[in-house]
Amino acid sequence: MIPLTDNLPTPPRPFVTYSLLGLILGLFAWQVHLSAIEQLEPVLLGWGLIPSRLVAVTGEVVGGNNPAAGVAWVLVASSLVKSLFLHSSFAQILGNGIFLWVFGRRLESYWGSGRFLLFLWAWGYSLDYYKC
C-alpha cells in the first residue's frame, strides 16, 4: 500500500517538491509530444548523460591545452542535472511522482528547501552514474 496522506502536523508549503513535480510532469508531457512527432532523439542526445562524452571532454580539460574545452565541459556536465528530469515511461513517472509527493514534502520541511534540493540532486546523480 502506498500512503497518500498522514496525520502529522501540516508543514509549511513544500515549494521545491511542488515545483519539481510540476517540472517533471511538464517535461514528460513535452517528451510524449516530441515522441509523437518523432523528434525526441535530439532531446535525448542533448539532455541525456552520455558517460563517454563526459570522460572525453574531461580528459581534454585536464590534459590538453585547449581553452575551449572548459566551455565544452560545462555544456556536457550540465547533462548531469538535465538527465534527472528525463523519464522513459508512464510507470516510471508515476512511481517517481508518487514517491516525491509522499516523502518529499516531509523531507523538505525537515531539512529545508536548499538541503532537500541538494539531496535530490546527489541521489539522482548517483543513480544515473550507476545506471550507465
Question: What pLDDT is stored for residue 131 in this prediction?
Answer: 55
**Of 3-7, 28-32, 69-73, 106-110, which gets the smallest average pLDDT?**
3-7
Query: How many other CB atoms sit within 10 Å of the CB of residue 104?
Result: 19
> Comparing C-alpha atoms, which of 109, 116, 85, 89 is closest to residue 35?
89
Give the global pTM: 0.73
Question: What pLDDT is stored for residue 77 in this prediction?
Answer: 84
> Comparing C-alpha atoms, which of 93, 106, 99, 86 is closest to residue 6?
106
**91-131: pLDDT as tens digits:** 989 988 998 888 888 889 889 999 999 988 887 777 655 55
C-alpha cell at 56: 572525453
What is the percent of the chain with per-residue pLDDT over 70, rounded to a whole number? Answer: 91
DSSP codes, 71-94:
HHHHHHHTHHHHGGG---SHHHHH
Look at residue 26 and tell me whether its pLDDT is greater than 90.
Answer: yes
